[in-house]
Structures are given as structure tokens and as C-alpha cells.
Amino acid sequence: MIVLQESASAQNLDFIPRSFTSGNTYNVTIVNEQTNTEVYNQDVDTITENLYYNRLNAIFDVKQDNFYMVTVKSGSDVIFKDKVFCTNQAITDFTVNDSQYTEQDTTNEFIFL
């Protein structure tokens, strides 16, 4: 899962595609899972190839606490598909249960027959 933040500035979308040719144009689509609406749909040729992954640096119109599906296509071939979660928590200490920990009280009693 990819984690993005609700921001008006550019963010990095890092991914490992099935295939990639530097300099080609790829279609990147991000769809909100709750409303089934596209929030990003661009043909891009600015995807950079790093040692083990690729990176797209762009401004994504994502809203906090929403899930999205990102799809990268080369023509009609899907080369990458993943889920995106948008949060404004710091990425380094992100947790799904932020401030919602519930302690379980057990006696750990076992009955042997």
C-alpha cells in the first residue's frame, strides 16, 4: 500500500512496475474507492527510473482518510496497480490505529482435559 498526504505540493509516488521503458508515455489514474471517481488521470513521461523502483513526482488531489486505487498503464497494458491511503500523519510514524488502542484483559486460564 502506498501512503500519500493531503497536500497542494508535489509528492512522490514510488512503485515497481511489471515492465518499464524510459522515455515512454504512461497513463496514471487514481480513483477514489468510496465515490468511484477519478481524482487524477494524466499521461506522463516524467516517471524516473531508480535502481529498484520508479518514481512519479506530481500533485495528487487526494483527501485525508480515504482509500484510492492507482493504475499505471502502457497503452492498454496495466504495468502497475495498487491501493493508496491518504493520511496527514507523519509517514515515518504512521499507524493505522493512531490513538485508538484497545487493551485486552485476559486471565489466560486454560482447561486441560
Q: Using one digit for the tens of pLDDT, what is the confidence trace for 29-48?
A: 999 999 999 999 999 999 99
- What is residue 98's predicted lDDT score, i.e. its pLDDT? 65
Per DSSP, what are the bridge partners of residue 84?
2, 68
- What is residue 112's predicted lDDT score, i.e. its pLDDT? 72
- What distance in Å separates the CA atoms of residue 15 and residue 18, rounded to the nearest whole number? 10
- What is residue 23's predicted lDDT score, i.e. its pLDDT? 85
Distances (CA, A) of 22 to 31, 76, 83, 85: 25, 17, 24, 27
Q: Is the pLDDT of residue 113 over 80?
A: no
- What is residue 101's predicted lDDT score, i.e. its pLDDT? 64
Residues 13 and 70: beta-carbon distance below 8 Å? yes
- What is residue 22's predicted lDDT score, i.e. its pLDDT? 85
Regarding the domain delimited by 2-92, which CATH topology (the fold level of the hierarchy) does it fall under? Immunoglobulin-like (2.60.40)
Residue 112 CB neighbour total at 10 angstroms: 3
